[in-house]
């Protein structure tokens, strides 16, 4: 590949030229980094980061730099992280550390997340009226999306709005946001985000929509109904963020997943895989570490091979890069040694990473007809 073409590709993907530097490429395992490989088909690759990752020069920060074209804060931009107590002071320091690091390293930033029913400021669980929305929620969205209007290129505006088990006919999760405005809170949140950050791409982020189980079919139905309502009403929603917390215990049916992606395409929406990782420890007994890692990689291959076939897919983000600090390991006593990310505890690439690299390298452009 000529230098000018490489430069062009890097510019298109918003990548720093350092990502293509052969020395860092070698340290990431013989290729130019996952961000550069994903850029070949017009996609990005990224990972969730936390502000402490950037405390001084360290091997993990170097990996984040070499492999990613996009970062997302795993915690720092959530409402409860910014404002521990409802109505109290907002502390942007940790989020700003990530914004500054991204600018320094030439990474694009996803914003996660403006509205989520978890990790709320203390006291927000009691919000229940339209006046509460005006007083607390609307200013929150305007302030945070506005502050990072030039830093964040994609926002997860609403996280996890669907929950069929909550029993509503609209299949939506019953949250304080729902209590305040009813189902219209989603449209209202997107309108406020668009006003505050007019050039950001705005996503509805949710999970458990790729396996064949009935409960996931219900979730697909709920999400598609909500997205269709938003699109028809002219709400500024651009895409679906599919978290992608895969699980080796579930049943994948390629046709079911393809149908879902086709429905998104039909709505004119894009798709981002926003929190990819694999839960495998609970049914790992009797398998060697090596076999477990290959199995996790196979789970990634099954789902991503289909997603990469869709022109709707804009990029893939993993929820961290190394198993050493995966949130999954803290999810239960049977998860303490889960093997579900592209790098192991010693920061060595796993089959998960090899799978991503070969999928990205062999995928044709998403804009090809």
Cβ proximity of 279 and 338 under 8 Å: yes
Q: Considering beta carbons, is residue 41 or 318 the nearer one to ligand XIL?
A: 318
Residue with Cβ nearer ligand XIL (252 or 327):
327
CB 78 within 8 A of CB 113: yes
List, as one string, the DSSP characters of 231-245.
HHTT----EEEE--E
Q: What is the dihedral of CA 233, 237, 239, 244, to 10 degrees?
A: -100
The CB-of-342 to ligand XIL minimum distance in angstroms stands at 16
Contact residues: ligand XIL, CB under 6 A? 74-75, 159, 243, 275, 327
First to last CA, the chain: 23
CB of 217 to ligand XIL, least distance (A): 21
Least distance between ligand XIL and beta carbon 74 (Å): 4
Shortest Cβ 1–ligand XIL spacing (Å):
36
- Under a CB-based contact definition with an 8 Å cutoff, are residues 70 and 108 in contact? yes
Q: How many residues does the chain have?
A: 369
Query: In terms of CB distance, is 67 or 207 closer to ligand XIL?
Result: 207
Whether 45 and 35 have beta carbons less than 8 Å apart is answered as yes
Nearer to ligand XIL, 52 or 59 (CB): 52
C-beta of 258: minimal distance to ligand XIL in Å?
24
Between residues 74 and 355, which has the closer beta carbon with respect to ligand XIL?
74
Contacts of 267 (CB under 8 A, 6+ apart): 224, 227, 228, 231
- Shortest approach of ligand XIL to residue 206 CB, angstroms? 9
User: Closest CB to ligand XIL belongs to which residue?
Assistant: 327
214 in helix, strand or coil? helix
Bridge partners of residue 115, in order along the sequence:
158
């Amino acid at each position: 590949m000529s230098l000018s073409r490489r430069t062009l590709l890097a510019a298109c993907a918003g990548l720093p030229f350092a990502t293509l530097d052969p020395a860092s490429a070698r340290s990431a395992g013989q290729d130019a980094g996952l961000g550069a490989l994903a850029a070949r088909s017009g996609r990005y690759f990224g990972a969730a980061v936390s502000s402490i990752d950037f405390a001084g020069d360290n091997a993990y920060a170097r990996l984040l730099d070499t492999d990613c074209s996009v970062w997302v804060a795993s915690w720092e931009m959530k409402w409860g992280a910014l404002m521990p107590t409802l109505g109290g002071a907002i502390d942007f320091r940790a989020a700003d550390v990530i914004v500054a690091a991204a600018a320094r390293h030439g990474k694009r930033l996803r914003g996660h997340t403006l509205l989520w029913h978890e990790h709320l400021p203390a006291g927000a669980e009691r919000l229940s009226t339209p006046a509460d929305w005006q007083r607390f929620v609307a200013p929150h969205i305007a302030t945070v999306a506005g502050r990072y209007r030039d830093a964040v290129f994609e926002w997860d505006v609403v996280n996890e709005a669907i929950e069929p088990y909550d029993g509503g006919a609209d299949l939506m999760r019953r949250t304080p946001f729902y209590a305040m405005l009813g189902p219209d809170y989603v449209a209202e949140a997107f309108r406020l985000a668009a006003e505050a950050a007019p050039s950001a791409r705005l996503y509805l982020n949710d999970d458990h929509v790729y396996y064949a189980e009935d409960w996931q079919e219900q979730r697909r139905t709920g999400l598609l109904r909500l997205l269709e309502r938003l699109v028809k009403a002219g709400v500024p929603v651009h895409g679906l963020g599919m978290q992608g917390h895969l699980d080796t215990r579930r049943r994948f049916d390629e046709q079911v997943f393809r149908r879902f992606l086709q429905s998104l395409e039909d709505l004119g929406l894009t798709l981002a895989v926003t929190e990819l990782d694999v839960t495998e420890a609970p049914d790992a007994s009797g398998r060697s570490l090596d076999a477990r890692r290959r199995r996790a990689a196979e789970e990634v291959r099954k789902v991503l091979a289909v997603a990469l076939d869709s022109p709707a897919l804009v990029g893939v983000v993993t929820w961290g890069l190394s198993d050493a600090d995966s949130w999954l390991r803290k999810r239960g006593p049977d998860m303490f040694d889960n093997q579900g990310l592209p790098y192991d505890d010693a920061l060595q690439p796993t089959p998960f990473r090899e799978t991503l690299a070969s999928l990205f390298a062999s995928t044709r452009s998403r804009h090809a007809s």
